[in-house]
A = this chain, B = another copy of it.
């Protein structure tokens, strides 16, 4: 791509470094900003910079927060003995949306993934193990993605805490609500039969 302006080229190149944004898309976004009043660009740039520089992570669960201890961790109405282990803030938001979980979270900040160069030391695993060692945790719920990396991370944590008196569970894998059986993959369908639940239970949890 040959640009008629160095300023334009620089903006497009920076934008194109974002994941999933190619050069053409970046150019479209940058030209959109050019058509808008300059304040739009200033607001965007300001919001990104401020977010990057001032954002904090909860000292307890490592979720993104504006304060030292996040709203969930500082809420006495929540059960602090049940910890749901998740990958990042999106998973916290997704689970919070269900209104089904009244415990607290522990955000790992990723999954163990040798291919991407992510090892256990880059994740918030030590602080989780310490919580369990301190004896204040009744149950750990593993809620990572059902991928090889997710399973590896689950198992890595499990190995470190299995000698302590803590219950561990993973979220149920099975046919999604509303899905047709014939389109389900075999592994999921197989697991959903293996881990079937009493019919009465399925009536309660809507």
Query: Which residues does A use to contact B, with CB under 8 Å?
Result: 1-8, 10-11, 13-15, 17-21, 25, 27-34, 38, 40-56, 63-66, 70-72, 88-90, 92-93, 96-97
Residues of B contacting A90 in the complex (Cβ-Cβ under 8 angstroms): 27-28, 31
CA distance A63 to B41 in the complex (A): 20
Please classify the interface of chain A as helix (H, G, I), strand (E, B), loop, or mixed, using the class held by over half of its residues: helix
Q: How far is the CA of A126 from the CA of B63 in the complex (A)?
A: 56
Q: Which residue of B lies closest to A52 (CB)?
A: B41
Whole-angstrom distance between the Cβ of A49 and the nearest chain B Cβ: 5
- Bound form: Cα–Cα A132–B175 in Å: 68
Asked if B34 and A29 make an inter-chain contact with CB atoms under 8 angstroms apart, the answer reads no
User: Do B51 and A7 touch across chains, with their CB atoms under 8 A apart?
Assistant: yes
Query: Among the interface residues A18, A29, A32, A90, which one has the most CB atoms of the partner chain B within 10 A?
Result: A18
CA gap between A89 and B19 in the complex, in Å: 24
3 nearest A-B pairs in the assembled complex, by CB-CB distance? A45-B45, A11-B51, A41-B52
Measured CB to CB, the closest approach of chain B to A24, in angstroms, equals 8
Shortest CB–CB separation between residue A104 and chain B, in angstroms? 12
Instruction: Please report the C-alpha to C-alpha distance between residue A47 and residue B64 in the assembled complex, in whole angstroms.
Output: 26
> A42 to chain B: which residues have CB within 8 Å?
49, 52
